[in-house]
Amino acid sequence: MAKLDSKTPSGPLADKWQKHKTEIKLVNPANKRKYEIIVVGGGLAGSSASATLAELGYKVKNFVFHDSPRRAHSIAAQGGINAAKNYQNDGDSVHRLFYDTLKGGDYRARESNVHRLAEVSVNIIDQCAAQGVPFAREYGGLLANRSFGGAQVSRTFYARGQTGQQLLLGAYSALSRMVGQGGVELHTNSEMLDLVLVDGHAKGIIVRDLNTGAITRHSADAVILATGGYGNVFNLSTYARQSNATAIWRAYKRGACLANPCYTQIHPTCIPVSGDYQSKLTLMSESLRNDGRIWVPKKKEDAKKPPASIPEADRDYYLERIYPSFGNLAPRDVSSRAAMRMCDEGRGVGETGLGVYLDFADAISRLGEPAVRERYGNLFDIYHEITAENAYKTPMRIFPAVHYTMGGLWVDYNLMSNIPGLFVLGEANFSDHGANRLGASALMQGLADGYFVIPYTIGDYLAGQKPGSRPKADGAEFKQAEQNVQSMTEKFLANKGTEPVSHFHKRLGKIMWEHCGMARTKAGLEQALQKIPALREEFQANVKVPGSAATLNQSLEQAGRVADFIELGELLCRDALTREESCGGHFREEYQHPDGECKRDDEHYAHVAAWEYQGAGKTPLRNTEPLNYEFTKMSVRSYK
Amino acid sequence: MVAEHSVKKNFSVTLRVWRQAGPNQPGKFVDYPATDISPDMSFLEMLDVVNDGLTKIGDEPIAFAHDCREGICGTCSCTINGKPHGPGKGIATCQVYMRSFGEGDVIVVEPFRARAFPLIKDLVTNREAFDKIQQAGGFISVRTGAAPDANSIPVPKEDADLAMDAASCIGCGACVAACKNASAMLFVAAKVSQLGLMPQGQPERDKRVLAMVKTMDEAGFGNCSNQYECSAVCPKLITHDFIARMNRDYLAALFRSNFKPVSGASDGGA
C-alpha cells in the first residue's frame, strides 16, 4: 500500500510556502551541475521547468514527442491567465484568488497547494511580461484584464484569444535560450515509453525516436513528467490529436499513484459535433461569455426554427435566470450541466438538438461590431471556418465538450509522486484544481509549477542524493524496461488484425461519453466496466498496425497510446463508480440536490482517491489521502 | 439574418499525394480515391478516412504532420494544389474544409518543400532549423525570478498590438515553402519585430537580429527578393512590413557593431 504523505507544512496558511522555502534543503551552486534532470514534456510546465532548472545550473535533458516544444498543446489555450495583481482595484487579493479556486474546485483540493498557487500567480505575470509576452494593454501602456467564470473580479490577463500561445512562446524562448547556452539538451520527436526505477527511485526513462524508431535509455538523478492531461480517453475532445496519457500511464504501471481520474472537465462552449468522421472538437473561449448571452427557446417546438424568428419573450437566458449573481459567467461544470439539462428537455438547437445559442446581438448593439471584432475576432473567424456561419449576424451554436482533466498522478506538496525522484507538473498532476478547474487557471498552474515551485522543491530531494551517484543506463533495470518497450512494439506489428487503431479509439470514446461523461450513474458505470475490458481484448486481437518499427510510423504511435487510453478509461470509470457523491466535474445522478446541483458527501468523500497498480488483470488498490480543511469551511458551492 | 444553411451532399475526389518512404528514398505521386466525402469534414479528417481505408487493405497510411487541428500549433504542413496550407486565406492546413472542393476534383498534396526542411517521410518534413534560429537569439534574457513588477514597464498600446501581430506566428514554415528562394525572412522578422517593439527587448536588440540572421543563413534558407508569397500564404496573415523593419534593424545593428566602443571591464575582483 502506497504511503501518501502530503508533506503539507505546518503553520498559518499564508506563511506555509515561505516557511517551507526556508526549511527545505538546498543544493549548492557548484554541485548543481553534477545533477542531471530529465524533463518530459515541452508545454508550459515542461518548458518553464527546463529553462528555470538550467538557469540554476542543473543539467537538463528535455524530451518532447512534438517536432518542437513550441507545438505542445498549451499553445491552444485561448482566454487568459489569472493572477491576484488587483491592478483593477476591484477588491482582488491572494486570499480571494485562493478562495475562488478552492471553491471552484468544489472543496476537493488541498488548501496549502491552492494558496501557494495564488501567491505565485503575481510573479508569473511579472516574469512573462519581462520575457516580452505581448499581453493586452490599455492606452496608458499598463496591462488590461478581463473577467472569467467563477470570479467576481477582473483578474485575467490575456493576449487576444491566443494567451496560451503567447505564454508558451515565452517559456519556449526561455528554454531556447538555455538550449543555445548548452544548459538543456533538447530531444524532439522523442516519446517516453517507460519509466526506469532503480532501488525504488525514478532514475531514467526509455524513449522512442519517432522518426527513426531507435529506442534509447536515459538515466538521471530525477525525472519530471509534464506531459499534460488524458482527455483524449474520450476520443473527441478539445485536446490536440496527439495529446496522450502514455507517460503518466506507464509511470502508474511502475507504481506511481493516479489520483482522482474521474475529475474531468467538460467545457460548456465548444462547437457541436457534426459527423462520425470527426477528429476534434473546437473550443470557443470562455472569455466569449463576458459579452455573449446563452439561451435556448422557451418552447420545444421553437428549437428547430431559425433563431432570428424567435422573439425575445420566447427566449430562455437560462444561466442568467438560474444563477443571477454569476449569470453567463457561472463556472464550467455548472454551465455545462445546465446546457445538458436544456437539451434533455428537448430545447436544444441545431440539426442534432445538441446545442445552445451563444448570442452577441446585445454586445454588438452596445459596443458596435468593431469592438466585438477586436476582442474576439479570431474566435469568430474560427467559428466561421468550421461551420460556415457568420456569428456577427446569427448566434453561435455551442455544446459542452471534454476539455481538461483535473485528475492526474498523485503528488505531495513538493510535487513529488509517491515514487521518490519522480516529479509531476502541470495538468499531468492532480494537485490544485480539486474536482473542477476555473477558467484561466490551467496556464497559471502550469507556469507556477515550472517557474516557481519545482526549482525550489526538487533541491530537497536532490540534496539527499550523492552527486555522481546517478546510475548508468546499462543496468538491469534499464535493460528490462527497454525489453518491455521492444516487446510491445513487436507485438503490435506482428498482430494479424483487420481494424485500424482509430476504430477502437472511437468506440472507447463512445463508451466513455455515454457512461462516464457529463452525468454518471452506478448502472452506467458498471456497464462501462464490462464493455471496456471486452474492448481491450478485441483491440489486442484485432488491431492492425501496418509498416515497420524502423521508420516514422504513426499507426504504431497511436496503437501504444490507445492501448493505454483503454486501460486508463477503465480506471476512470472505476474511480467514478467508487466516488459515491457529486462534486465539480464528477456528477453522479444519484447524488444531487432537488435543483439539480451537485450533492457532495464531505463525511465520506472529503479525500483524494489515489489508485495504485497491482499488476495486469488485478483490481487496483484505492488509497486515500484525507483533505483536512484547517482554514476554510467546506460549504455548499453556490453561484446563485 | 438566417443561418447560411447549404444543402449538404457528399462527393468524391482524387488525391494525388507525394509518397516517399524515407529521407534518402525516391519519391513519387500516387493517386488515391477519396469517396463519400462530407463537405463538413476537415481536409485532415478526409486524410484520416483515406488512411483508415489504406490500413484496412494492408497499405501503409500516408504520413502527415498534425496535432492541435485548430490552427495554432503550426504542426500541419501540406502544400495543397501548389499552395502551402491550400486554398483558404489566413488559415492552416487543418482549417481547410472539404467544402472548398467539389465533385471530381483532383487534389495534389505535397510536403512543405525547402532545402532547409529535409523530408522525413511522405508529407512530413524536419523544421528543426526554426528552433536553431530561436536558440540563437529569439528571446529576452531574463532569469526566472528576476523580473520587475509587470506594470513597471509600460508599453504603448499601439506597440503592444503590433508586437502581438508579429508574435502570432505559429512557426509552420509556410512562408519558406511558398518562397521561390525558400527564405525564412518572414519567420525571423516576426520574432525580431515582436521583441524589438517592446522596451524589454531593447538591451539585446542588435545582438538578437545579428545572431538570428546569421543562423538563418547558415541553416540554408535563401534570400528575400521581395515577392511576398510568404505573407500571402501565412496562416496568421503576418505582414511583410516586418521584413522591412528587420532589414532596418539589421543594418543599424551591423553599423553599430562595427563602431561600438567595447568596455575593457572583465568579471572578477575581490
Q: What is the pLDDT of residues A365-423, one digit of tens each?
A: 999 999 999 888 888 988 998 999 999 999 999 999 999 999 999 999 999 999 999 99
pLDDT of B247 reads 98
| Closest chain B residue to A280, measured at CA | B69
pLDDT band with cut points at 50, 70 and 90 for residue A298: very high
pLDDT of A1 reads 86
Burial group, residue A278, by CB count within 10 angstroms (0-12, 13-18, 19+): middle
State the average pLDDT for chain B.
Answer: 94
Interface of A with B in 175-234 (CB under 8 A): 176-177, 179-180, 186, 188, 211
Q: Do B160 and A282 touch (CB under 8 A)?
A: no
Of A134, A211, A502, the CB nearest to B48: A502
Please say if the pLDDT value at position B227 is more than 70.
yes
pLDDT band with cut points at 50, 70 and 90 for residue A609: very high
CA-to-CA dists, residue A182 to A186, A302, A601, angstroms: 9, 64, 52
Burial group, residue A315, by CB count within 10 angstroms (0-12, 13-18, 19+): middle
pLDDT of A150 reads 83
Q: Could you give the count of Cα atoms lying within 13 Å of A202 in the half-sphere of its Cβ?
A: 33
Please say if the pLDDT value at position A262 is more than 90.
yes
Interface of A with B in 306-365 (CB under 8 A): 306-309
* B270 contact A CB<8A: no
Q: Which of B87, B121, B155 is the last residue of a domain?
A: B121
Q: Do B99 and A143 touch (CB under 8 A)?
A: no
State the DSSP string of A119-173. Answer: HHHHHHHHHHHHHT----B-TTSSBP-B--TT-SS--EE-STT-HHHHHHHHHHH
Give residue B141's identity as a one-letter amino acid code: S
* B204 contact A CB<8A: no
What are A474-533's pLDDT values in tens digits? 999 999 999 999 999 999 999 999 999 999 999 999 999 999 999 999 999 999 999 999
The residues, ordered by sequence, that sit 6+ positions from A103 with a Cβ below 8 Å of its Cβ are: A150, A635, A637
Please say if the pLDDT value at position A472 is more than 90.
yes
C-beta of residue A26 within 8 angstroms of C-beta of residue A463: yes
Q: Do A500 and B149 touch (CB under 8 A)?
A: no
Q: Do A174 and B144 touch (CB under 8 A)?
A: yes
Q: Do A71 and B67 touch (CB under 8 A)?
A: yes
Mean pLDDT of A297-323: 96
Domains of chain A, residue spans: 267-403, 476-625
pLDDT of B260 reads 76
What are B201-213's pLDDT values in tens digits? 999 999 999 999 9
* B56 contact A CB<8A: yes
CA-to-CA dists, residue A105 to A228, A415, A439, angstroms: 19, 19, 11
Please say if the pLDDT value at position A191 is more than 80.
yes
Q: Do B144 and A48 touch (CB under 8 A)?
A: yes
State the average pLDDT for chain A.
Answer: 96
Who wins on pLDDT, A352 or A31?
A31
Cell of A27: 543544493
* B111 contact A CB<8A: no
pLDDT band with cut points at 50, 70 and 90 for residue B4: very low
Q: Do B52 and A502 touch (CB under 8 A)?
A: yes
State the DSSP string of A540-576. Answer: HHHB---S-TTS--HHHHHHHHHHHHHHHHHHHHHHH
Interface of A with B in 101-130 (CB under 8 A): 123, 125-130
Q: Do A67 and B128 touch (CB under 8 A)?
A: yes
Q: Could you give the count of Cα atoms lying within 13 Å of A271 in the half-sphere of its Cβ?
A: 24
pLDDT band with cut points at 50, 70 and 90 for residue B8: confident
**C-alpha–C-alpha distance, residues A311 and A297, integer Å:** 9
> 3-state class of B98 per DSSP?
helix
| Residue B267 falls inside a structural domain | no
**CA distance to partner chain B, nearest, from residue A502 (Å):** 8
Same domain for B103 and B34, yes or no, is yes
C-beta of residue A282 within 8 angstroms of C-beta of residue A270: yes
Helix (H) / strand (E) element for B164: namely helix B157-167
Q: Could you give the count of Cα atoms lying within 13 Å of A260 in the half-sphere of its Cβ?
A: 37
* B160 contact A CB<8A: yes
Q: What is the DSSP letter of A107?
A: T
| Closest chain A residue to B4, measured at CA | A389
CATH number of domain containing B164: 1.10.1060.10
The residues, ordered by sequence, that sit 6+ positions from A618 with a Cβ below 8 Å of its Cβ are: none
* B31 contact A CB<8A: no
Q: Do A186 and B131 touch (CB under 8 A)?
A: yes
Give residue A148's identity as a one-letter amino acid code: F
| Residue B138 falls inside a structural domain | yes
Mean pLDDT of B118-144: 98
Q: What number of residues does chain B have?
A: 270
CATH number of domain containing B47: 3.10.20.30
Same domain for B106 and B164, yes or no, is no
| Residue B6 falls inside a structural domain | no
Same domain for B133 and B115, yes or no, is no
What are A216-240's pLDDT values in tens digits? 999 999 999 999 999 999 999 999 9
User: 0.80 cut: is pTM over it?
Assistant: yes
Q: Could you give the count of Cα atoms lying within 13 Å of A186 in the half-sphere of its Cβ?
A: 26
Q: Do B68 and A76 touch (CB under 8 A)?
A: yes
**C-alpha–C-alpha distance, residues A296 and A318, integer Å:** 8
Strand stretches in A434-503, DSSP E: none
State the DSSP string of A210-259. Answer: TTT--EEEEE-SEEEE-----GGGGSSSSS-TT---HHHHHHHHTT--EE
Cell of A231: 482527455
| Closest chain A residue to B150, measured at CA | A126
Residue in A323, A324, A401, A287 with CA at minimum distance from that of residue A355 = A401
Same domain for B34 and B150, yes or no, is no
What are A42-60's pLDDT values in tens digits? 999 999 999 999 999 999 9
Q: Which of A155, A293, A332, A579 is catalytic?
A: A332
Strand partners, A190: A209
**A267-403 sits in which CATH class?**
alpha beta
Same domain for B109 and B145, yes or no, is no
**C-alpha–C-alpha distance, residues A386 and B39, integer Å:** 10
Residue in A640, A260, A290 with CA at minimum distance from that of residue A436 = A260
Of A166, A503, A552, the CB nearest to B120: A552
| Closest chain A residue to B44, measured at CA | A279
Pick the CATH number of A476-625 from 3.10.129.10, 1.10.357.10, 1.20.58.100, 3.20.190.10: 1.20.58.100
Same domain for B43 and B159, yes or no, is no
Q: What number of residues does chain A have?
A: 640
* Structural domain range at position B22: 11-121
A293 annotated active-site: no
Q: Do A279 and B51 touch (CB under 8 A)?
A: no
Same domain for B235 and B214, yes or no, is yes
Residue in B105, B40, B47 with CA at minimum distance from that of residue B76 = B47
| Closest chain B residue to A140, measured at CA | B156
Same domain for B21 and B100, yes or no, is yes
Same domain for B26 and B95, yes or no, is yes
Which residue in the block uniquely carries the three cell numbers 463508480?
A577
pLDDT of B7 reads 55
CA-to-CA dists, residue A83 to A74, A123, A364, A460, angstroms: 18, 9, 29, 27
Pick among A173, A278, A501 to test the B interface (most B CBs inside 10 A): A173
**CA distance to partner chain B, nearest, from residue A205 (Å):** 23
Same domain for B116 and B41, yes or no, is yes
C-beta of residue A46 within 8 angstroms of C-beta of residue A69: yes
Q: Which of B66, B101, B121 is the last residue of a domain?
A: B121
Please say if the pLDDT value at position B264 is more than 80.
no
* A551 contact B CB<8A: yes
Q: Do B1 and A166 touch (CB under 8 A)?
A: no
Of B55, B130, B149, the CB nearest to A544: B55
Highest mean pLDDT among A322-331, A337-346, B102-111: B102-111
| Residue B148 falls inside a structural domain | yes
* B207 contact A CB<8A: no
* B149 contact A CB<8A: yes
Please say if the pLDDT value at position B46 is more than 60.
yes
The total domain count for chain B is: 2
| B237 torsion bin: left (phi>0), alpha (psi -120 to 50), beta (else) | left
Please say if the pLDDT value at position B3 is more than 80.
no
Of B1, B2, B97, the CB nearest to A385: B97
**C-alpha–C-alpha distance, residues A348 and A337, integer Å:** 13
Please say if the pLDDT value at position B270 is more than 60.
no
**C-alpha–C-alpha distance, residues A120 and A83, integer Å:** 8
pLDDT of B1 reads 33
Q: Which of B76, B97, B121 is the last residue of a domain?
A: B121
Alpha-helix residue ranges (DSSP H) falling in A323-415? 332-344, 361-367, 369-387
| Closest chain B residue to A497, measured at CA | B56
| Residue B167 falls inside a structural domain | yes
